Chain A
Amino acid sequence: MEENAKLDTLQTLELADGVSIRLRVSGPILRGLAYALDLMIRLVIFIAAVVIISYLDFAVGDKVAQGIYLLIWFALDWFYPIVFEVGKHGATPGKLMLGLRVVQVSGAPITLGQAVIRNFMRFIDSMPFFTYGFGLASCVASQRFQRLGDLAAGTLVIYHRMPKAVQMPTPPPLAAVQVPVALSRDELFALAMFRDRASLWSEARRIEIANQATELTGAEGVTGMNRLLGMAHWTHRQTTHRQ
């Protein structure tokens, strides 16, 4: 209960087999940047098309050429995101570059229907006058950073790229210490975090944190910290051995 009431940017989902996954929902700024990138890509495509067609001008005539330009821009404007979001990566090139991806609220890849709804709703989101004011307002106001199109289609934009893990070698503990009691998943995770990030902290801070777990280590100060590192090492070895 209390845990749920806490503010978080992640969305926890429980899958059918009881495993929880967390979707890292993306906020408006990166999405805006992705849109800007896509706009540039589309403009480049459009200009290239215009240049090519203008060379063929003599064959088709001015009016026809203008019609073709309009058709190309129409297609780029309305179908460019749909085609890419339904595709393998679930993201337009701009989103892909920034490590974003469109998924269903359940975390599954989006369907064609959802992609169509999501992107046709852009027309509303981009109001007033292509400024995306409505989309931005909806994105900031909704719980999961959804613009109106996302709300209508039941989709989310999530961070797809994994953050680079901080790999700083911790000094190997003197001895692996067996964990005396059963620990929950979160607690094991905290233990692993302590091991992985210990080198980011000063010795004093490390001891300070280890002192919070005296029930587990049964000792304070340097002894407790070393024992805690030993336990983290032990659980790490256990889990890697099992695999």
Chain B
Amino acid sequence: MQLETITAVLRPRTEWEAVDMGFAMIRRDFWTVWLAWLLTMLPMTAVLVWLLWDSYPMLMMMIFWWGKSAGSRIVLYVISRRLFGENPSWRSILLEIPKAWTRRFFYRFLWARFSPWQPVTMPVGELEGLRGKNYQSRVRQLLMRGESTAFTLYSLAELLSVWIAFALLGLAIMLIPEGQLNWREIWVENYDPSTPFTIPLPILQGIALAMMISFSLTDIFLSGAGFGVYLNNRTWLEGWDVELAFRKMNGRLAKGIGFCLVCLFVFGAPTVQAEDQRTASEVIAEVKSHPDFKVHKVVQRVPISNQDEKPKKSHAWVKFLAQYADLLKGILLVLAIGLAVWLIWKFRHLLQRPIALDSTASHATSGQHLTIMGMDTNRASLPDNIPAAAWTFWSQGNHHAALALLYRGAISRIIEQTHAEIRESDTEGDCVRRANDIGAEAHPQFFQNLTEKWIAFAYADQLPDETSIRSMCEQWPYEKSSEKRRRL
């Protein structure tokens, strides 16, 4: 087995993902697989139709169902080879068809035919060629994972066959023009009152045909899904994905070491430098002489026409406008005043701001910025004793308010006391950096610690422990200094 040439991504999957993987494998080669399946079933179907179409269509359908194992074998043949990078030719597929019917006939078509795990166990017999005891132990080991999935898959596939047949009949009824084929009429025409419980033959034929088409579709997908589960189980059991990854890594490392040696030889050799003796300006000139660097200019000139014609044409307009010159002047004036008023009204907040600052500005320095990261850091919006207020919030269980207050207060105090240039657009990280720049006055250690707690809480929802909050409230460095300053 050549793991390198595998054309699917190996990965330990869940069981249903393995089933999906099988579907994807079938989808990739749907037309090849379906055609191969139909070709496999063709001889048997021809005989069946010839013998039973007019007499027992349901029996025909059942025998067809029993024989679809041969189709499954072909599906397996095609997709397993495609998986390992081979592209089986039609010749080889056609040659495989008789083998699919005859190889281990009694086992495949009688003994194992009715096993619900058949889609998963089939590759063990078909691809690994195991028999007897080896086969048994292998199958037991394989089915330890996803046995129930295999069983569910099989039951659902049989159920889906009926369902899809139903859908196909529905589609036929939808697409056949009205009046061409009326099921009720067919029923009535072929209904025999002497045997009231038999369904008329044409109806049965229709059902049998739809079922057979449906089997052809469900069986290829069922076989593909079974193979997907088989593949996944072997990936789990034998670590194919790990082996493949190691092989790839080995190749890379081997190549990588080789590459380094090459590097040494090339760049270590003095010849490389000696060769390049031209000056930089020469090289530049040479490069710039390339046509790609040519500067193209497009000059557009307005053709000067005969000047006499235009004034004549506009003359009437000018006269007309001149009559209403005063009116126009008035309108323009009104518009200009309106615009000015509108601009003032629109940008009134620019005018209001300094006034608002003045009213609160007992601390002149805090005036520049009111909001940082969307938080109001104005002194007026904060309590006087921040740590005490925060501790009250915390002990009330309002953790968010407590942390937010501490953080907001710290920024506010830093701006106030150190004239830090914290901008509205600054992030938490920027604030820490600015505090660091200022140095001891801003207590960067404390602030950084607080910022970490705040970020962990605000973005990751990680609540800091109570002791750290308590110690932060007790250590609160900003208030003391301001008090000191006031005393001084």
A complexed with B: yes
* Contact pick for A128, options B20, B167, B221, CB 8 Å: B167
How many chain A residues have a CB neighbour from B under 8 Å? 48
Q: A200 to B237, Cβ gap below 8 A?
A: yes
Q: A27 to B250, Cβ gap below 8 A?
A: no
Let me know if A167 is at the binding interface, CB within 8 A.
no
CA distance A30 to B236 in the complex (A): 22
Chain A interface mostly helix, strand, loop or mixed? helix
Chain A residues, Cβ within 8 Å of B249: 183, 187, 190, 213, 215-216
CA distance A6 to B3 in the complex (A): 13
Known interface pairs A6-B8, A159-B16; A27-B243 also in contact (CB < 8 Å): no
Let me know if A197 is at the binding interface, CB within 8 A.
yes
Q: A6 to B9, Cβ gap below 8 A?
A: yes
Let me know if A74 is at the binding interface, CB within 8 A.
no
Q: A131 to B247, Cβ gap below 8 A?
A: no
Residues 232 to 253 of chain B near chain A (Cβ within 8 Å) = 236-239, 241-243, 245-250, 252-253
* Contact pick for B170, options A129, A184, A189, A193, CB 8 Å: A129
Known interface pairs A133-B164, A190-B246; A181-B253 also in contact (CB < 8 Å): yes
* Contact pick for A7, options B25, B166, B257, CB 8 Å: B25
Chain A residues, Cβ within 8 Å of B250: 212-216
Q: B167 to A201, Cβ gap below 8 A?
A: no
Chain B residues, Cβ within 8 Å of A60: none
Q: Chain B's nearest CB lies how many Å from the CB of A154?
A: 20
Instruction: Write the A205-231 contact mask toward B (1 if CB under 8 angstroms, else 0).
Output: 100111011111000000000000000
For this complex, into which size category does the number of interface residues on chain B fall?
35 or more
Chain A residues, Cβ within 8 Å of B7: 5-7
Let me know if B13 is at the binding interface, CB within 8 A.
yes
Q: Chain B's nearest CB lies how many Å from the CB of A129?
A: 4
CA distance A6 to B25 in the complex (A): 10
Chain A residues, Cβ within 8 Å of B112: none
Residues 241 to 271 of chain B near chain A (Cβ within 8 Å) = 241-243, 245-250, 252-254, 256-257
Let me know if A24 is at the binding interface, CB within 8 A.
yes
CA distance A32 to B16 in the complex (A): 12
Question: Of all chain A residues, which has the CB nearest B149?
Answer: A29
CA distance A172 to B173 in the complex (A): 67
Residues 132 to 188 of chain A near chain B (Cβ within 8 Å) = 132-133, 136, 140-141, 145, 159, 163, 181, 183-184, 186-187
**Closest CB pairs A-B (n = 7):** A133-B167, A190-B245, A27-B20, A128-B170, A131-B167, A215-B253, A212-B246
